[in-house]
């Protein structure tokens, strides 16, 4: 009754954990800021609805918003509205990109561990997902050797994601160059998911944008302005990519949500301070959770440089999935690293998009659970 396509994919393991959570839990499983959107953006939605922004808008997004996005990134290249597609979140942007790029059997490299949509999106589009490992020893950046040996004549594109979910890793300039050199040599498209672009703690963001002519830069208002439920994102790419991906986008969603586009425009003009505020709060929480995890014997945390995730390695003779189950049973939500791919299986992901108080309580309970498994 159902297509091979839908039967080839499963709901993400993260959902299963969240379904187990009932009542009053400490949520360190969240993939979103624990803040509400900036007040002026919330006001703007009311205004937009009253002013009549309740109809279909241009399929690729309001020209003023596309232009504002192009201008925001002008230090990285000479972009105009023609280089921008406004999407219903990075999620739709990534799926329609895959649908526009892939012929059956063409291969796409994607990170393992990595964000949960990459593999299903490649499969839905008829492509062949080929994962490459990210290891803690290498600060969760790929090595040239690991990438090179996975490239075949059928490889069409590589997905990269920095700042990274689930590891908190960021990429440095030499790895960006290594990946671009490989892409150039093998005629690959780089799809760079940079939804955490604004959340780096030790250095300014390093981006693929503007560094290679076949980059599709994926971004979102979700994390930057704590608007995850508003579902607005965007792509920046050469205009011929935008034209073709724009067709898939039109037949998938018709157009972005008009009142949300209006509010996003206001946020771009007025709410930069808000992202900076969140970033400072996350920076303090990062330090707190890192220090608490570091004290627990058998848990080896990395100091994350971006996004809002910790991805410690569990160095005990126990299955991290059992540790997560027990931690969740005791009211603290977290995610087994394996939910993000086989290379994450010795790890557990904690989100520190949570209050200091909850981080402290959560780590106390986690330490007790680890004691039990020792």
Ligand X SMILES: Cc1ncc(COP(=O)(O)O)c(C=O)c1O
d(CA 205, CA 195): 11
Q: Does 228 bind ligand X (CB under 6 A)?
A: yes
Please count the residues of this chain forming the interface with ligand X, following the rule CB under 6 A: 13
d(CA 135, CA 137): 5
Q: Is the peptide bond before 163 cis (omega within 30 degrees of 0)?
A: yes
CB neighbours of 88 closer than 8 A, spacing ≥ 6?
231, 232, 233, 253, 256, 257
Q: How far is the CB of 230 from ligand X (least distance, A)?
A: 9
* Closest residue to ligand X: CB criterion: 89
Q: How many CB atoms lie within 10 A of CB 303?
A: 14
d(CA 195, CA 191): 12
Specify the residue, 285 or 349, whose C-beta has the smaller distance to ligand X.
349
Q: How far is the CB of 17 from ligand X (least distance, A)?
A: 14
Specify the residue, 89 or 296, whose C-beta has the smaller distance to ligand X.
89
Q: Does 195 bind ligand X (CB under 6 A)?
A: yes
d(CA 257, CA 235): 16
Among 165, 206, 258, 327, which residue interacts with ligand X (rule: CB under 6 A)? Answer: 165
Specify the residue, 195 or 260, whose C-beta has the smaller distance to ligand X.
195
Q: Does 115 bind ligand X (CB under 6 A)?
A: yes
Q: Which two tokens stand for residue 16?
A: 């299963």
Q: How far is the CB of 115 from ligand X (least distance, A)?
A: 4
Q: Which positions from 135 through 154 interact with ligand X, judged by CB under 6 A?
A: none
Among 97, 167, 207, 222, which residue interacts with ligand X (rule: CB under 6 A)? Answer: 222
Q: Does 90 bind ligand X (CB under 6 A)?
A: yes
Among 83, 96, 155, 161, which residue interacts with ligand X (rule: CB under 6 A)? Answer: 161
Specify the residue, 212 or 230, whose C-beta has the smaller distance to ligand X.
230
Specify the residue, 85 or 195, whose C-beta has the smaller distance to ligand X.
195
Specify the residue, 139 or 224, whose C-beta has the smaller distance to ligand X.
224
Q: Does 233 bind ligand X (CB under 6 A)?
A: yes
Cα torsion 177, 180, 181, 184 to 10°: value is -160
Q: Does 192 bind ligand X (CB under 6 A)?
A: no
Q: How far is the CB of 255 from ligand X (least distance, A)?
A: 17
Q: How far is the CB of 116 from ligand X (least distance, A)?
A: 8
Select from 86, 54, 51, 87 the least CA-distant residue to 67: 86
Specify the residue, 233 or 301, whose C-beta has the smaller distance to ligand X.
233
Q: How far is the CB of 89 from ligand X (least distance, A)?
A: 3
Phi and psi dihedrals of 199, rounded to 5?
A: -110, 75
Q: Does 96 bind ligand X (CB under 6 A)?
A: no
From 88-96, 257-265, 354-362, 366-374, span contacting ligand X (CB under 6 A) = 88-96
Write out the H or E segment, with its range, that includes residue 227: none
Q: How far is the CB of 273 from ligand X (least distance, A)?
A: 21
Select from 317, 318, 312, 286 the least CA-distant residue to 299: 312
d(CA 148, CA 181): 11
d(CA 315, CA 321): 13
Q: Does 89 bind ligand X (CB under 6 A)?
A: yes
3-state secondary structure of 22: coil
Q: How many CB atoms lie within 10 A of CB 185?
A: 10
CA atoms within 13 A on the CB side of 164: 29
Q: Which two tokens stand for residue 241?
A: 């990519």
Contact residues: ligand X, CB under 6 A = 31, 89-91, 115, 161, 165, 193, 195, 220, 222, 228, 233
């Amino acid at each position: 009754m159902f297509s091979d396509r839908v039967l080839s994919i499963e709901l993400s393991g993260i959902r299963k954990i969240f379904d187990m959570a009932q009542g009053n839990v400490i949520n360190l499983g969240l993939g979103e800021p624990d803040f509400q959107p900036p007040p002026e953006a919330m006001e703007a939605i009311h205004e937009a609805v009253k002013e009549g922004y309740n109809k279909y808008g241009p399929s690729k997004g309001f020209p003023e918003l596309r232009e504002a996005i192009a201008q925001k990134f002008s230090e990285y290249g000479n972009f105009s509205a023609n280089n921008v597609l406004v999407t219903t979140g990075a999620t739709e942007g990534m799926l329609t990109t895959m649908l526009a790029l892939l012929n059956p059997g063409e291969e796409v490299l994607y990170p393992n561990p990595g964000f949960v949509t990459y593999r299903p999106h490649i499969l839905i589009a008829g492509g062949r997902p080929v994962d490459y490992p990210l290891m803690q020893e290498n600060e969760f950046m790929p090595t040239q050797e690991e990438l090179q040996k996975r490239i075949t004549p059928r490889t069409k594109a590589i997905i990269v994601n920095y700042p990274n979910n689930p590891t908190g890793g960021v990429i440095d300039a030499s790895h960006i160059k290594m990946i671009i050199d490989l892409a150039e040599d093998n005629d690959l498209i780089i799809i760079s998911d940079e939804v955490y672009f604004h959340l780096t703690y030790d250095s300014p963001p390093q981006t693929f944008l503007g560094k290679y002519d076949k980059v599709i830069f994926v971004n979102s208002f979700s994390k930057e302005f704590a608007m995850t439920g508003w579902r607005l994102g965007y792509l920046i790419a050469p205009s011929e990519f935008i034209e073709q991906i724009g067709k898939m986008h039109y037949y998938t969603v018709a157009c972005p949500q008009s009142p949300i586009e209006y509010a996003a425009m206001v946020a771009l003009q007025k709410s930069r301070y808000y992202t900076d505020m969140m970033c400072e709060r996350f920076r303090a929480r990062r330090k707190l959770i890192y220090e608490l995890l570091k004290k627990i014997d058998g848990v080896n945390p990395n100091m994350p440089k971006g996004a809002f995730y910790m991805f410690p390695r569990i160095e005990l003779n126990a299955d991290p999935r059992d540790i997560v189950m027990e931690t969740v049973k005791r009211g603290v939500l977290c995610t087994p690293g394996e939910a993000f791919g086989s290379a994450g299986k010795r790890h557990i992901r904690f989100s520190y998009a949570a209050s200091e108080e909850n981080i402290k309580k959560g780590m106390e309970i986690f330490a007790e659970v680890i004691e039990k498994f020792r």
